[in-house]
Amino acid sequence: MAAPVVASVLEAAAPLLAELHAESFPPADRWSVQAIGLLVALPGHFALLATAAGEPLGFALGRVAAEEAEVLTLAVRPAARRVGTGRALMRALMAESARRGARTLFLEVAEGNLAARTLYDRLGAAVAGRRRRYYPNGSDALVLSLPLSPSGAATGG
């Protein structure tokens, strides 16, 4: 598979992003086209789409407020996983967050989500807190923080 290319997209991409989201999350956690479109259009929010040879592979939504950034969601198509797309999306999100002035990136991850936790761990994320019974299935969320350097690269890990 060709290396993923990551680019910014606007709210017009919401139907595609909602499809990608639905492939990666259980029904209770899925976000509608409307919800994604509204989020992408909010000030400080942005969407990044990963493609290979023009085919969509996954996306990430982020937001920046002052010096703090947050990953709102990250999803890679099941058939396209383990080839570096999630890492490429995260690196692009970190770079875009730093470009917008953020110094720290926060994210929430289900405690049992080994794939995402390993990805974030390798990027230098550290556990900053826990939200009990955060997800519809009752599982806890870990709050992770990741320091950003002005170039967008993680300073740790």
Ligand X SMILES: CC(C)(COP(=O)(O)OP(=O)(O)OC[C@H]1O[C@@H](n2cnc3c(N)ncnc32)[C@H](O)[C@@H]1OP(=O)(O)O)[C@@H](O)C(=O)NCCC(=O)NCCS
**Rule CB under 6 A: which residues touch ligand X?**
24, 74-76, 81-87, 109, 113-116, 118-119, 122
Q: Which is nearer to ligand X, 38 or 83 (CB)?
A: 83
Q: Quote the least distance from Cβ 144 to ligand X, whole Å.
A: 9
Q: Quote the least distance from Cβ 32 to ligand X, whole Å.
A: 17
Rounded Cα–Cα distance for residues 72 and 100 (Å): 16
Q: Which residue has the tokens 């994210």?
A: 107
Q: Quote the least distance from Cβ 75 to ligand X, whole Å.
A: 4
Q: Quote the least distance from Cβ 153 to ligand X, whole Å.
A: 16
Q: Residues with Cβ < 8 Å from 43, sequence gap 6 or more?
A: none
- Comparing CA positions, the residue from 91, 90, 14 lying closest to residue 56 is 14
6-21: buried (b, 16+ CB within 10 Å) or exposed (e) per residue?
A: beebebebbebbbebb
Residue facing ligand X at closest CB distance? 86
Q: Which is nearer to ligand X, 81 or 103 (CB)?
A: 81
Tokens matching residue 46? 């942005």
Q: Which is nearer to ligand X, 122 or 130 (CB)?
A: 122
